[in-house]
Amino acid sequence: MARESAEAERRNPRSKEAYAQADHLFGRVPMTWMNKTAGAFPRYLAGARGARITDVDGHEYIDFCLGDTGAMAGHSPTAVTEAVDRRYAGLGGATAMLPTEDAEWVGAELTRRFGLARWSFSLTATDANRWAIRLARAVTGRPKILVNSYCYHGSVDESLIVVGPDGGGTARPGNVGAPCDVTLTSRVAEFNDLAGLERELAHGDVAAVLMEPALTNIGIVLPEPGYLAGVRDLTRRYGTLLINDETHTFSAGPGGCTAAWDLEPDLLTIGKAIGGGIPAGAYGLSADLAERLLDRADLDLVDMGGVGGTLAGNALSIAATRATLEHVLTDEAFARMAKLSERFEAGVRAGIEAHHLPWSVSRLGARTEYRFTSPVPRTGTESAAAADPELEDFLHLYLANRGILLTPFHNMALMCPDTTEQDVDTHTEVFAAALAELVG
């Protein structure tokens, strides 16, 4: 690790200098998350196109991070670039507080892909989740939201709860500035634990279960056979709404896990990738739920009721989203991306097996991730316990020094429409070399 750290500093003098001079930024970066990058400082972006990033020191990288899913369409795809230019420079206007005809096209396409009948827009998946939660509370009259331990729903306050050592809910470690004890707003159950879920729903105070169909941000944790059907059955039995957050699980296919696994949520939230790199998010509602909400005269859905934002659904974001869905993240593109991810998974598995390492690898469509444990974790808590930050940093830095980027906070690799077989094979070779050094 000392050798790789020294090499990173030698290779990246301009990034090191830029970081040292960033005195006016909180944590020296535009967003504190960027400090998670392995090494003493982050690499600074010069440009990006397709599946490639170039830093200010002139190094080119094969990018498997893809903005932690935000650039799953690839960096600056031509169709999105042209749509944004046409909307902003050609027609003019990004934020006018007026709808565009593109929005109905996007809504219809999201219905085709995910099945939900009515759609509204946000700028982030976090906002989509916040607004979906408010709608769920309004229509059910219940106060609490249930999530899975070590789930990921952005910075939603209600989601920062985990299963503690005693089996009850407790604040997730590191939660910043919580407005109240999270157990006042939330309940929690382990992923793949139907008995635990029913125990929490039996209290009768849960408005909605907000869940990823597969955990992603703590390492991929896939649902066991029958689990998701069981979740849907229990939520219906206890009068609780089901919200599928497909922001990361969108990698499963053009309609995410909801379409791939024939799921039937009451609401669905998504963000990041749908805008092709331009900030965009959305939430969908079943026709019945939308009608129930719109029939409520006591709910302020158009002004200060707590649902919506000035820039949500702006013309620029909607134009980018239409271009992304229509021309970039197409059904055909997802099929190619999934095949590349299978190839990536096979390469990682071959490296692990060659050295008889007690590791595992999981895949969700275009997304692959390896873990420092075997068998594959079945809950978020098990997955969190398998973390090894020092080993993770070594592998990330080793790969970065050889022109490959993974998502900084875990070992996730994502394919985009511009990723090639050679990109995948390059990772396989470098990963194998790293493992050979680790085992001596």
Q: What is the pLDDT of residues 16-39, one digit of tens each?
A: 999 999 999 999 999 999 999 899
User: Is the pLDDT reported for residue 228 higher than 90?
Assistant: yes
383 plus 264 within the same structural domain: no
Last residue of a domain, one of 328, 349, 381: 328
Nearest to 250 by CA among 127, 414, 362, 381: 414
Domain that includes residue 126, residue range: 78-328
Q: What's the confidence (pLDDT) of residue 304?
A: 87
Q: What's the confidence (pLDDT) of residue 92?
A: 97
Could you report the per-residue pLDDT of 159-192, keeping only the tens digit for each? 999 999 999 999 999 999 999 999 999 999 999 9
Q: What's the confidence (pLDDT) of residue 139?
A: 97
86 plus 50 within the same structural domain: no
Distances (CA, A) of 383 to 72, 147, 191, 336: 24, 16, 11, 29
Q: Which residues, including other chains, have CB under 8 Å from residue 256's CB and lie 6 or more apart?
A: 113, 114, 213, 244, 246, 249, 250, 270
Could you report the per-residue pLDDT of 144-159, keeping only the tens digit for each? 999 999 999 999 999 9
264 plus 352 within the same structural domain: no
Cross-strand partners of 50: 75
User: Band of the pLDDT at 70, cuts 50, 70, 90?
Assistant: very high
User: Is the pLDDT reported for residue 409 higher than 90?
Assistant: no
Could you report the per-residue pLDDT of 340-368, keeping only the tens digit for each? 999 999 999 999 999 999 999 999 999 99
Dihedral angle sign, alpha carbons of residues 345, 423, 154, 28:
positive
365: domain CATH number? 3.90.1150.10
- What is the average pLDDT across 415-424? 98
Radius of gyration of the chain (CA): 22
| pLDDT above 70 as % of the chain | 100
- What is the average pLDDT across 35-53? 96
142 plus 99 within the same structural domain: yes
How far is Cα 277 from Cα 282, in angstroms, rounded to an integer?
Answer: 14
Could you report the per-residue pLDDT of 303-338, keeping only the tens digit for each? 889 999 999 999 999 999 999 999 999 999 999 999
221 plus 192 within the same structural domain: yes
Tokens at 73, concatenated? 């369409």
310 plus 338 within the same structural domain: no
Q: Give the SS3 label for residue 268.
A: strand
Distances (CA, A) of 381 to 132, 213, 215, 255, 418: 26, 16, 11, 28, 35
Q: What's the confidence (pLDDT) of residue 440?
A: 84
Mean pLDDT for the chain overall: 97
- What is the average pLDDT across 63-70? 97
Burial of 331 (0-12, 13-18, 19+ CB in 10 A): exposed
User: Band of the pLDDT at 138, cuts 50, 70, 90?
Assistant: very high
224 plus 339 within the same structural domain: no
Q: What's the confidence (pLDDT) of residue 410?
A: 86
216 plus 89 within the same structural domain: yes
- The angle that helices 194-201 and 227-237 make with each other, rounded to 10 degrees, is 10
214: domain CATH number? 3.40.640.10
Q: What's the confidence (pLDDT) of residue 335?
A: 98
- What is the average pLDDT across 231-256? 98
Last residue of a domain, one of 313, 328, 343: 328
Instruction: Determine contact, residues 243/206, Cβ cutoff 8 Å.
Output: no
| pLDDT above 90 as % of the chain | 98
Tokens at 275, concatenated? 């805008």
User: Is the pLDDT reported for residue 254 higher than 90?
Assistant: yes
Structure pTM? Answer: 0.97
Nearest to 148 by CA among 229, 228, 33: 228
- What is the average pLDDT across 279-285? 98
270 plus 162 within the same structural domain: yes
266 plus 380 within the same structural domain: no
Q: Give the SS3 label for residue 142.
A: coil
15-36 burial code (b ≥16 CB/10 A, e <16): bbebbeeeeeeeebbeeeebeb
241 plus 289 within the same structural domain: yes
User: Band of the pLDDT at 396, cuts 50, 70, 90?
Assistant: very high
Last residue of a domain, one of 328, 352, 371: 328
Residue type, 81: T
Q: What's the confidence (pLDDT) of residue 134?
A: 98
Q: What's the confidence (pLDDT) of residue 151?
A: 97
The DSSP H or E segment spanning 60 is strand 60-63
How far is Cα 16 from Cα 153, in angstroms, rounded to an integer?
Answer: 32
96 plus 209 within the same structural domain: yes
Number of separate domains in the chain: 2
Distances (CA, A) of 179 to 133, 158, 183, 276, 377: 16, 10, 11, 33, 32
